[in-house]
Amino acid sequence: MAKLLLKNINKVYAGGVKAVDNFNLEVEDREFIVLVGPSGCGKSTTLRMIAGLEEISSGELYIGDRLVNDVAPKDRDIAMVFQNYALYPHMSVFENMAFGLKLKKVPKDEIEKKVKEAAEILGIEHLLDRKPKALSGGQRQRVALGRAMVREPKVFLMDEPLSNLDAKLRVQMRTEISKLHQRLKTTFIYVTHDQTEAMTMGTRIVVMKDGVIQQVDTPKNLYDNP
Ligand code: ADP
Ligand code: ADP
């Protein structure tokens, strides 16, 4: 069973903009899918529909073997990492990472264990008591990744997570996120307009234009047949 199935997915925004046009994709377990294409081609809308943050106009979305069109975001077994990190400014790094687990009433000692484990993997264990404003951009992005990780989602969704970082850090975080994907052994769906990012990170790349899928292939095949 595919980990994720998008069947004839369409999105028409109020006002009539057709943002996504008959999107079909089957994603296997542990793939790293990159949605790539110019600004306005429908990448973000697609990701937000998978997350449940945007209603699907028509079509069917399966996560695992469950039809999730009408399932609330928090019940979809997904976690999303945003470009602007979306950390809670009044909470420490620890509290930011623990927040989702606290809501789920996970026991305190288990929360502490999971947060510390994730923080260690991401190299932020020395920052747990800091507030987000006392962190660099790269550190904030790691906290956002950590907050997603501790929930152990089936699918990781990332919307341009590196675009607020400077060029050097962007290259470093690319490698880190690829390593994280290998380590977590889970499915990633990653949105970017940056072709280099797509080619270096994806196991499969979905090229979009004007809401329509143009090509779906491995980086190697896209490189050989652009
Ligand atoms: P991308 O992520 O590739 O930049 P988006 O998915 O954000 O593209 O946008 C796809 C299209 O949908 C664009 O034409 C955009 O203007 C439009 N769009 C996005 N969000 C909304 C919205 N909330 N209401 C109306 N149109 C929208
Ligand atoms: P409360 O539940 O009273 O609001 P906190 O949210 O501050 O308390 O912390 C909850 C638990 O999380 C604490 O009992 C502590 O074990 C753990 N904790 C908080 N901050 C840290 C940290 N920086 N490092 C390790 N554990 C922490």
Q: What ipTM does this complex have?
A: 0.74
Q: Which helix (H) or strand (E) holds 224?
A: helix 219-224
Interatomic CA distance for residues 32 and 27, integer angstroms: 9
Name the percent of the chain lying above pLDDT 70: 99
Provide CB contacts within 8 A for 185, sequence distance 6+: 30
Q: Which residue's CA lies nearest to atom 20 of ligand 1?
A: 45
Q: Which residue's CA lies nearest to atom 6 of ligand 2?
A: 95
Within 6 A (CB) of ligand 1 lie: 13, 15, 17, 19, 37, 39-45
Q: Which residue's CA lies nearest to atom 2 of ligand 1?
A: 44
CA of 41 to the centre of ligand 2 (A): 43
CA of 151 to the centre of ligand 2 (A): 17
Within 6 A (CB) of ligand 2 lie: 94-95, 108, 112, 128-129
> What are residue 147's phi and psi, to 5 degrees?
-65, -35
> pLDDT by residue (tens digit) across 38-82?
999 999 999 999 999 999 999 999 999 999 999 999 899 999 998
